[in-house]
Amino acid sequence: MSNAEEGIARIQAAAIKAHGTQGGKLREHQEHSVAYLDERILTYVFAIAFIGLIVVWATTTSALILYGSLVVVIILIVLWGVARVKRIERTRQERAHQTKEWKSEN
């Protein structure tokens, strides 16, 4: 975690503590932070896999490996897209829920 990210995390945690409901809000904030960390780790894994795939494509002599890996990459991209769309929908639902909570508090 960089210094800027650490500073942002500390400010967010302090704001949540100042809000007065440390238990639930702080736990919810930490869950979101962990989800973001998981996404970053997954991005790094994809980057390493992509570099490995480029090496395989550059060095392979077998057409089966070349086209088979291409098909696998296409399938993985489609699955990743579906998962991403589901995550976006889940985030929208969470934000709508938060909006309803904020409106009910006012």
Compute CA distances 103 → 27, 48, 92, whole Å. Answer: 22, 44, 16
Residue 21 has pLDDT above 80, yes or no: no
Measured from the Cβ of residue 29, the count of other Cβ atoms closer than 10 Å reads: 15
Residue 11's pLDDT is 74
> What number of residues does the chain have?
106
In the predicted model, what is the mean pLDDT of the chain?
Answer: 80
pLDDT digits (tens, 9 = 90+) for 71-101: 988 998 899 899 889 988 988 898 888 888 8
pTM: 0.53
Which pLDDT band, with edges at 50, 70 and 90, does 6 fall under? confident
List, in sequence order, the alpha helices (H) in 1-62: 3-19, 22-59
Residue 82's pLDDT is 93
Residue 22's pLDDT is 55
Question: What is the three-class DSSP state of 2?
Answer: coil
Greater pLDDT, 22 or 2: 2
